[in-house]
Amino acid sequence: MAARVVRVILARKGMGYAELAKALESVGVEENERSLALRVMRGRVKFSLLLQILHVTHSTTPRLWLDALSLEDSWEARAAAVLDAERARHPTVSVGDLALRMVQLGASLSGKTLALHIEQGTISLPEFLQCVVALGSLSLDRYIDYDDLVAVARGAVAERSL
């Protein structure tokens, strides 16, 4: 699913990985076309890299994220601020509660580790997609169908219970 999100962004902008790698240089990401394509294909993308991709491709970002993305700070700090904005829609859900929900949805990390990643903005894109499902957020609907994310989460839960 993480790869699909990035591929949709690139397809909408008519960009390939070579152009993306070049554009990412402007925000300090040094990756060649091949390594970037492999990382995306394997789903080894940090959420902060997705934010950088949205930025350098001039893609439409969710309105909920605009304040977080306008911060003059690191991309990890912006990622943490986006996560705070998403969680703010559910004030009774603590970081720990969110991490536990993500574990129930098949996250491969412990709740404690996930909570740390959420707070520090070092969460991976696949983990963020689980976060989106756990919070019932439609923020990425422009790039991936929420129902598809839910189906993958249900599959992961069913697989774990076997």
List pLDDT tens digits, range 68-95: 999 999 999 999 999 999 999 999 999 8
Question: What Å distances lie between residue 130 and 14, 23, 36, 161, CA to CA?
Answer: 27, 28, 22, 18
What's residue 50's pLDDT? 97
Residue 98 C-beta-side C-alpha neighbours within 13 Å: 30
Domain boundaries, the chain: 2-160
What's residue 157's pLDDT? 66
The pair of structure tokens assigned to 77 is 């700090």
SS3 154: helix
- Which phi-psi region, left, alpha or beta, contains residue 123 (left: φ > 0; alpha: ψ -120 to 50)? beta
pTM of the model: 0.91
The predicted model gives 104-132 an average pLDDT of 87
